Amino acid sequence: MRECLSIHVGQAGIQIGDACWELYCLEHGIQPDGTVLDSKKDRLENAKMAPVAASFDTVFWETRAGKQVPRAFFMDLEPTVIDGIRTGKYRSLFHPEQLVSGKEDAANNYARGHYSVGSEMIDLVLERIRKLAKPCGGLQGFLIFRSFGGGTGSGFTSLLMEQLSIHYGRKTKLEFCVYPAPRISTAVVEPYNSVLTTHSTMEHSDCTFMVDNEALYDICHHQLGIERPSYTSINRLVGQVVSSITASLRFEGPLNVDLIEFQTNLVPYPRIHFPMTAFAPIVAAEKAYHKAFSVSDITTACFESSNQLVKCDPRLGQYMACCLLYRGDVVPKDVNAAIAAMKSRQSIQFVDWCPTGFKVGINNHPPTMLPGGHLAKVQRTVCLLSNTTAVVEAWARLDHKFDLMYAKKAFLHWYIREGMEEWEFSEAREDLAALERDYEELGPSLRYDDKNEY
Question: Which are the contacts of 307, defined by CB distance < 8 A and separation ≥ 6?
Answer: 219, 223, 278, 279, 280, 282, 301
Q: Which residue, 430, 376, 371, 434, is CA-closest to 402?
A: 430
CA-based torsion, 146, 150, 154, 159: positive or negative: negative
Distance between CA atoms of residues 78 and 103, nearest Å? 5
Selected catalytic residue, list 104, 261, 424, 436: 261
Cβ–Cβ under 8 Å, residues 377 and 328: no
Calculate Rg over the CA atoms of the chain. 21
Catalytic residue check, 261: yes
Task: With H, G, I as helix, E, B as strand and everything else as coil, classify residue 175.
Answer: strand
Give first-to-last CA distance, the chain, whole Å. Answer: 45
What is the sign, positive or negative, of the torsion defined by CA atoms of 388, 389, 390, 393?
positive
**Nearest-angstrom CA–CA distance, 290 and 376:** 11
Distance CA 62, CA 228 (A): 39
Which residue, 194, 126, 125, 206, is CA-closest to 166?
Answer: 126
In the sheet that holds 207-212, the strands lie side by side as 99-101, 72-76, 4-9, 141-147, 172-179, 207-212, 276-280, 380-388, 319-328, 358-363
Q: Is 328 left (phi over 0), alpha (psi -120 to 50) or beta?
A: left
- 169/204 Cα distance (integer angstroms): 9
Name the phi and psi angles at 206, rounded to 5.
-85, -35
How distant, in Å, are the alpha carbons of 142, 171, 420 from that of 110? 22, 25, 10
Smallest CA-to-CA distance from 22 within 12, 10, 13, 31 is with 31
The DSSP symbol for 391 reads G
SS3 content of the chain, % helix, strand, coil (to 5): 45, 15, 35
Alpha-carbon gap, residue 139 to 96, rounded angstroms: 22
CA neighbours closer than 13 Å in the CB half-sphere of residue 403: 9
Q: Are 321 and 442 in contact (CB under 8 A)?
A: no
- List, by residue number, the catalytic residues: 261
